[in-house]
């Protein structure tokens, strides 16, 4: 039976009411008294030397408050990178300076050169048009492999070359892996591109800086997934403002998908300019600006090889990837192709030997960083494509080949340094076979053929690492931050609770699902619990929301803090009930003495905590407020199996998704409705990557897809209804809720299913097509069929 409330209930989202009535409070809805507006003049050239910036005409235009250029930021820190990767020789990555406004050179289209602050946005824009910038254009570095050739133009003159790092993992296994390939009965290899994407949350980024002269306090309102991280990075490394003089607020945020994790120049600029101009300064990104300034995602070029023995057991995997960093290192960019990618190369399989090589490359393009899944979609895509290709080469059933090589015993230590705590890969595949009605596929294919269409079925598995992450481990791996999470639980005198979390909700529904957990623990109505997030002034230091970490790490902190509350409340109850603390039980919001009918209500205990007339003041303090920080001991490992059925129109190459089934194992689930919605959204983004989306540059570094006219976002009529199941549940063994996280699964698991299905469709028509690079747009599919 579905529950009415608490853990496992599909409680309706309380945040919906404000969003449905236009009462949300997004950053662009915030307007400060006396606010000025900034417009950034951005480079329309990918690579060049700035020889002159003349702002004199612009400065005298109506409404202009002040014009800033790079020279205003000499001595101010640049944008910091939060992760230092060590290369295969033990050397640190090459790390270029990243100025707030361009200094001397421009390195990508969209790089801000000057900033006009004016009384109105229109005046700021008008004045920006009157700024004269002279740039000596240099050859643009766009192609990653060309960028690494001797004599290639350097993106950064002060670096040795365009190679950020050359990473080998696990370097000690390299010789054994090579030997396994020499001994293999069969080797399947595949070269592929993981296409560059733009996250495109529907709310463009916004920053509002404010400065209080009387108290020397700065406030930044920003569209961020992690306000505390922004406060730390911007305060400590960029502007030199101590935390107690800097407040960062991320109110309602209209989607993030990774690209709102990072600290951006515009945030630092607005905070800096508010003080310099002594008035609030607001920036609202246009969509075109978003395309040329939000960090992009993916953009890997990979060769993967899979070795099998004579019995079709996987014996080794070897990969070589070029990963695009863009022109500068975005906040967490170096970690994505390495520790979030190489560590997942075992997938769901007991392959004993794995070697991953990644060359990260600077190019004259927008910086690339985490986008929904971040490294794990890239790992899953190449692995599940090469396994599918191997099955076709060997003439075996792709599902049978996967099942034969599944990891079945847990915990399982992979050869790429992670330990899966739980999972049941046969279980999710069993569920998928049931949902996908594979037995009926032949009849559906025949029906499609009657209509002149080719039908294909593609299946794949995935595993991901969520709940990022054990701080001591990521510290060893180069993270310049801890990755714990925090919660403060404040119980009010009349029994209601406020939970202040360091994580952030930007569509995930935390205000509802987090309240369900606390309500369940105490046995009270969900509506007595309020979740507060997004403001460094009223939440404990936390690392924010990304990597499907909020319930696994943030939820765990909330559980620990609530446990402390319950323990203290039991002490108070034992005093009120004149009973031993060991005999006090909490059930349905009342404390009772075991084996008696004596009890005291939750509200009486909370009132006693704040009106301590009859209270054990000699033993415990008044009040009822506790904080916990939770640092996970391991990642969590959600997994699943996905199936996609497509129809291909052989005349046009157009692919349509006819059926999509997703069987996931997320461990325990707090709100099934929200979890299902997260999977739907992930699937849409994964299918978007597979069929539609492509961030394209020309050879001069011009972005060809900088608007929704050119970048194909998935629309309602591009997608089917999805069949989603999460009844396979192997709870996480190392966090108190047994949860694994669900935010990225759909985006990780779906691209290989789509491509496998299209290859299946084309091969069914006798076409010798083994791979097509994403997106599988009609022209690419048609060319592959007729190539």
Segment contacting other proteins (CB under 8 A): 304-312, 387-395, 666-674, 771-779?
666-674
Among 286, 476, 494, 614, binds other proteins (CB under 8 A): 286
Q: Which is nearer to other proteins, 55 or 222 (CB)?
A: 222
CB neighbour burial string for 753-779, b if at least 16 within 10 angstroms, e if fewer: bbbbbbbbbbebeebebbbbebbbbee
CB of 674 vs other proteins, minimal distance in Å:
7
Q: What is the distance between the alpha carbons of residues 453 and 648, in angstroms, rounded to a whole number? A: 6
Q: Which is nearer to other proteins, 460 or 508 (CB)?
A: 508
* The two three-digit tokens of residue 714, written as one number: 């998935």
1 near other proteins, rule: CB under 8 A: no
CB of 505 vs other proteins, minimal distance in Å:
9
Q: Which is nearer to other proteins, 597 or 717 (CB)?
A: 717
With CB under 8 A as the rule, give the number of residues binding other proteins.
61
509 near other proteins, rule: CB under 8 A: yes
596 near other proteins, rule: CB under 8 A: no
How many of the other CB atoms lie within 10 Å of CB of 136? 11
In this structure, what are the phi and psi dihedrals at residue 20, rounded to the nearest 5 degrees? -80, -15
439 near other proteins, rule: CB under 8 A: no
List, as own/partner pairs, every contact residues 243-247 make where C-beta atoms lie below 8 angstroms and the sequence separation is at least 24, other chains included.
243/536, 245/215, 245/216, 245/217, 245/218, 246/217, 246/218, 246/219, 246/220, 246/271, 246/536, 247/217, 247/218, 247/219, 247/220, 247/535, 247/536, 247/537
749 near other proteins, rule: CB under 8 A: no
Q: Which is nearer to other proteins, 288 or 733 (CB)?
A: 288
Which of 469, 482, 476 is closest to 547 using CA atoms?
469
Rg (CA), the chain: 27
Q: What's the DSSP call for residue 238?
A: I
Segment contacting other proteins (CB under 8 A): 24-32, 129-137, 596-604, 767-775?
24-32
677 near other proteins, rule: CB under 8 A: yes
Among 6, 7, 9, 28, binds other proteins (CB under 8 A): 28
CB of 691 vs other proteins, minimal distance in Å:
13
Q: What is the distance between the alpha carbons of residues 119 and 319, in angstroms, rounded to a whole number? A: 54
Among 7, 9, 13, 381, binds other proteins (CB under 8 A): 13
Among 188, 330, 364, 508, binds other proteins (CB under 8 A): 508
214: CB partners within 8 A, 6+ apart: none
Q: Which is nearer to other proteins, 78 or 255 (CB)?
A: 255
Among 10, 153, 538, 656, binds other proteins (CB under 8 A): 10
Among 150, 597, 717, 768, binds other proteins (CB under 8 A): 717
Among 24, 78, 589, 623, binds other proteins (CB under 8 A): 24
What are the Cα distances from residue 243, in Å, to 29, 216, 247, 455?
25, 12, 7, 58
Segment contacting other proteins (CB under 8 A): 18-26, 50-58, 61-69, 513-521?
18-26
Q: Which is nearer to other proteins, 377 or 540 (CB)?
A: 377
Q: What is the distance between the alpha carbons of residues 739 and 668, in angstroms, rounded to a whole number? A: 5
Which residue has 């990178």 as its token pair? 81
721 near other proteins, rule: CB under 8 A: yes
Is 655:454 a contact under the CB 8 Å cutoff?
A: no
In this structure, what are the phi and psi dihedrals at residue 749, rounded to the nearest 5 degrees? -85, -20
Among 1, 22, 160, 450, binds other proteins (CB under 8 A): 22
Give the distance, in angstroms, between the CA of residue 705 and the centroid of all CA atoms in the same chain. 22
Segment contacting other proteins (CB under 8 A): 17-25, 145-153, 528-536, 598-606?
17-25
716 near other proteins, rule: CB under 8 A: yes
Among 100, 277, 499, 674, binds other proteins (CB under 8 A): 674
CB of 743 vs other proteins, minimal distance in Å:
11
The answer to whether the bond into 25 is cis (omega within 30° of 0) is: no
709 near other proteins, rule: CB under 8 A: yes
21 near other proteins, rule: CB under 8 A: yes
Q: What is the distance between the alpha carbons of residues 504 and 545, in angstroms, rounded to a whole number? A: 5
Q: Where are the beta strands (DSSP E) in 398-453?
A: 412-413, 419-420
CB of 672 vs other proteins, minimal distance in Å:
6
Q: What is the distance between the alpha carbons of residues 713 and 539, in angstroms, rounded to a whole number? A: 35
Among 173, 676, 694, 735, binds other proteins (CB under 8 A): 676
748 near other proteins, rule: CB under 8 A: no
How many of the other CB atoms lie within 10 Å of CB of 66? 17
Segment contacting other proteins (CB under 8 A): 20-28, 97-105, 128-136, 187-195?
20-28
Segment contacting other proteins (CB under 8 A): 26-34, 383-391, 524-532, 542-550?
26-34
CB of 509 vs other proteins, minimal distance in Å:
7
15 near other proteins, rule: CB under 8 A: yes
437 near other proteins, rule: CB under 8 A: no
CB of 16 vs other proteins, minimal distance in Å:
4
Q: Which is nearer to other proteins, 254 or 738 (CB)?
A: 254
Q: Which is nearer to other proteins, 31 or 56 (CB)?
A: 31
Among 288, 313, 627, 729, binds other proteins (CB under 8 A): 288
Torsion angle of alpha carbons 344, 180, 93, 336, nearest 10°? -20
431 near other proteins, rule: CB under 8 A: no
* Enclosing H/E stretch for 36: strand 36-42
Is 369:356 a contact under the CB 8 Å cutoff?
A: no
* The two three-digit tokens of residue 3, written as one number: 């529950």
Using CB under 8 A as the binding rule, the residues of this chain from 245 to 264 that contact other proteins are 252-255, 257
CB of 598 vs other proteins, minimal distance in Å:
42
Segment contacting other proteins (CB under 8 A): 231-239, 313-321, 418-426, 680-688?
680-688
Q: What is the distance between the alpha carbons of residues 463 and 381, in angstroms, rounded to a whole number? A: 11
Euclidean distance between the first and the last CA atom of the chain, given in angstroms as a whole number: 55
Segment contacting other proteins (CB under 8 A): 160-168, 334-342, 349-357, 670-678?
670-678
Segment contacting other proteins (CB under 8 A): 264-272, 403-411, 717-725, 758-766?
717-725
Q: How many helices (H) and strands (E) in the chain?
A: 19, 28
Q: Which is nearer to other proteins, 638 or 746 (CB)?
A: 746
CA pseudo-torsion sign 534, 539, 544, 545 = negative
Using CB under 8 A as the binding rule, the residues of this chain from 192 to 211 that contact other proteins are 200-204
Helix (H, G, I), strand (E, B) or coil at 133: strand
**Sheet of strand 655-665, all strands in order from the earlier edge strand to the far edge:** 454-463, 639-648, 655-665, 723-725
Q: What is the distance between the alpha carbons of residues 754 and 774, in angstroms, rounded to a whole number? A: 10
* The two three-digit tokens of residue 340, written as one number: 């979030």
Using CB under 8 A as the binding rule, the residues of this chain from 101 to 160 that contact other proteins are 122
681 near other proteins, rule: CB under 8 A: yes
CB of 337 vs other proteins, minimal distance in Å:
24
724 near other proteins, rule: CB under 8 A: yes
Give the distance, in angstroms, between the CA of residue 776 and the centroid of all CA atoms in the same chain. 24
Among 4, 16, 54, 397, binds other proteins (CB under 8 A): 16
Question: Which residues of the chain form contacts with other proteins (CB under 8 A)?
Answer: 10, 12-13, 15-24, 26, 28-29, 31, 122, 200-204, 252-255, 257, 286-288, 506-509, 672-674, 676-677, 680-685, 707-709, 713-717, 719, 721-725, 746
């Amino acid at each position: 039976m579905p529950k009415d409330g608490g853990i496992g209930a599909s409680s309706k989202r309380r945040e919906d009411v404000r969003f449905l009535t236009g009462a949300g409070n997004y950053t662009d809805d915030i307007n400060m008294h006396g606010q000025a507006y900034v417009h950034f003049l951005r480079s329309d050239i990918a690579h060049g030397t700035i020889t002159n910036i003349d702002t004199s005409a612009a400065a005298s235009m109506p409404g202009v408050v002040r014009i800033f250029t790079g020279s205003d930021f000499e001595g101010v820190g640049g944008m910091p990178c939060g992760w230092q990767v060590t290369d295969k020789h033990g050397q640190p990555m090459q790390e270029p300076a990243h100025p707030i406004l361009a200094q001397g050179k421009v390195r990508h289209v969209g790089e801000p050169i000057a900033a006009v602050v004016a009384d109105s946005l229109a005046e700021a824009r008008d004045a920006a048009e009157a700024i004269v910038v002279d740039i000596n254009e240099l050859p643009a570095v766009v192609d990653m492999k060309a960028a690494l050739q001797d004599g290639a133009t350097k993106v950064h003159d002060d670096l040795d070359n365009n190679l950020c790092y050359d990473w080998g993992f696990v370097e000690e296994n390299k010789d054994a892996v090579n030997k396994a390939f020499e001994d293999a009965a069969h080797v399947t290899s595949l070269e592929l591109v993981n296409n560059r994407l733009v996250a495109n949350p529907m709310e463009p980024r916004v920053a509002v800086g404010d400065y209080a002269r009387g108290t020397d306090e700065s406030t930044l309102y920003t569209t961020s997934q992690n306000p505390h991280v922004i406060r730390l990075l911007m305060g400590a490394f960029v502007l030199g403002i101590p935390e107690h003089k800097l407040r960062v607020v991320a109110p309602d945020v209209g989607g993030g998908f990774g690209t709102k994790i990072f600290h951006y120049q515009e945030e630092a600029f607005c905070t800096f300019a508010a003080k310099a101009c002594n008035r609030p300064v607001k920036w609202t990104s246009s969509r075109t600006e978003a395309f040329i300034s939000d960090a992009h995602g993916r953009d890997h070029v990979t060769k993967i090889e899979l070795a099998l023995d004579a019995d079709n057991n996987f014996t080794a995997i070897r990969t070589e990837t070029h990963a695009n960093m863009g022109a500068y290192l975005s906040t967490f960019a170096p970690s994505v192709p390495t520790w979030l990618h190489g560590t997942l190369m075992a997938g769901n399989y007991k392959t004993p030997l794995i070697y991953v090589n990644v060359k990260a490359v600077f190019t004259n393009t927008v910086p690339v960083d985490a986008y929904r899944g971040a490294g794990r979609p890239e790992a899953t895509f190449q692995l599940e494509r090469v396994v599918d290709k191997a099955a076709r080469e060997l003439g075996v059933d792709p599902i049978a080949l996967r099942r034969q090589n599944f990891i079945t015993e847990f915990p399982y230590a992979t050869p790429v340094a992670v330990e899966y705590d739980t999972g049941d890969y046969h279980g999710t595949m069993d569920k998928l076979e049931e949902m996908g009605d594979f037995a009926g596929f032949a009849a559906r294919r025949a029906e499609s053929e009657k209509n002149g269409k080719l039908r294909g079925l593609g299946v794949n598995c995935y595993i991901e690492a969520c709940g990022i992450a054990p701080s001591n481990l990521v510290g060893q791996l180069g993270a310049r931050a801890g990755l714990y999470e925090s919660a403060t639980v404040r119980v009010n005198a009349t029994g209601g609770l406020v939970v202040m979390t360091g994580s952030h909700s930007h569509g995930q529904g935390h205000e509802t699902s987090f309240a369900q957990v606390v309500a369940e623990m105490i046995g009270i109505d969900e509506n007595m619990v309020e979740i507060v997030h997004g403001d460094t002034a009223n939440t404990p230091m936390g690392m924010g929301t990304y990597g499907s970490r909020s319930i696994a790490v943030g939820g765990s902190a909330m559980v620990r803090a609530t446990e402390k509350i319950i323990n203290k409340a039991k002490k108070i109850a034992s005093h009120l009930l004149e009973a031993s603390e060991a005999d006090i039980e909490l059930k349905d919001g009342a404390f009772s003495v075991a084996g008696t009918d004596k009890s005291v209500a939750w509200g009486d205990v909370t009132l006693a905590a704040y009106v301590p007339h009859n209270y054990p003041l000699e033993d415990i303090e008044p009040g009822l407020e506790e904080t916990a920080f939770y640092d996970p001991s391991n990642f969590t490992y959600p997994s699943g199996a996905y199936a996609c059925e497509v129809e291909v129109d052989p005349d046009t190459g157009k692919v349509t998704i006819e059926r999509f089934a997703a069987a996931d194992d997320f461990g325990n689930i707090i709100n099934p409705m929200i979890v299902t919605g997260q999977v739907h959204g992930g699937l849409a983004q994964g299918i978007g990557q597979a069929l539609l989306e492509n961030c394209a540059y020309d050879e001069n570094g011009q972005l060809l897809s900088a608007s929704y006219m050119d970048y194909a976002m998935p629309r309602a009529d591009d997608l089917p209804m999805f069949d989603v199941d999460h009844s396979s549940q192997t709870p996480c063994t190392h966090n108190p809720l047994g949860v694994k996280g669900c935010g990225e699964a759909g985006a990780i698991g779906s691209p290989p299913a789509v491509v496998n299905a299209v290859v299946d469709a084309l091969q069914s028509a006798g076409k010798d097509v083994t791979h097509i690079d994403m997106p599988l747009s009609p022209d690419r599919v048609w060319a592959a069929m007729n190539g």
